[in-house]
Homo-oligomer: A and B are copies of this chain.
Amino acid sequence: MNEQSVAALLHQVRNGEIEIQHALDQLRLLPIELLNSARLDHHRTLRTGLPEAVFGENKTVEQLIEILGALLRVPNVVVATRVSPEKGEAACQRLNGLTYHPVARMLTGNEAHAPADGGRGTVVIVTAGTSDLPVAEEASVTLQTFGHRIATVHDAGVAGIHRILAHSALLQQGSVIIVVAGMEGALPSVVAGMTAAPVIGVPTSIGYGTGAGGYSALLGMLNSCAPGLAVVNIDNGFGAACMAAAINRAT
């Protein structure tokens, strides 16, 4: 039952062609059927403020191209994450308007449809080590594609605590701080103690032995004694960017 059929039903009611009780019975099923339309994606953007993103890891090149081709025809920015260089190159060759970001392993498109000024302030992205760069880049490309301003502080791990202290002013001016760290994941705790901005911790799978996979970093962030810190899944730079975008959204 779509809007046309509801309108038709109401016309029948007005014309006395059906009983009100009967119309009532049909309307009981309304909410569900109304939503089953081709405009779902627009609704999603409206509802969540974030465009549809494509998770590239388990998709074939053909699936990627089909989905991205469809999204490019809609006036909205396009973002695909976890796209290998091979898939990325193939997609760029077959579809116009896509850009492949090799460090972030992302495809973006329709960037012109991003809001001119996507956010209230600047999102600061901090990394603990150079190995954390790809995850930070995923956050960075996502936020820029969504129309947010970013600033970055790299290689500021806690073993040399003075490195992060040197950026104290920037951390206090950001509207949101994303901190990307592997190993022991202590940097978000330190940053959250230095700023009034909300801090989003992104544990990375950088590490070995008990650090392999990123669980050590995740636990370190979840158990932080610093207030104003929340966490996303290991290596989830995209998720951190979405949370930051939701916070930084101009309202």
Residues in chain A within 8 A of chain B (CB atoms): 3, 6-7, 10-11, 13-14, 16, 20-21, 23-24, 27-36, 40, 43-44, 47-50, 53, 55, 57-59, 63, 82, 120, 128-131, 157-163, 165-169, 172, 175, 183-186, 189-190, 192-200, 203, 205-236, 238-240, 242-243, 245-247, 249, 251
Contact = CB atoms under 8 A, between A and B. Distances in A.
Indicate how many identical chains form the complex.
Answer: 8
A213 B212 CA distance: 10
Nearest to A48: B196
A6 B27 contact: yes
A129 B223 contact: no
B216 A239 contact: no
> Which of A6, A189, A223 has the most chain B CB within a 10 Å cutoff?
A223
A24 B10 contact: yes
B166 A48 contact: no
Nearest to A240: B230
Contacts of A30: 27, 30-31
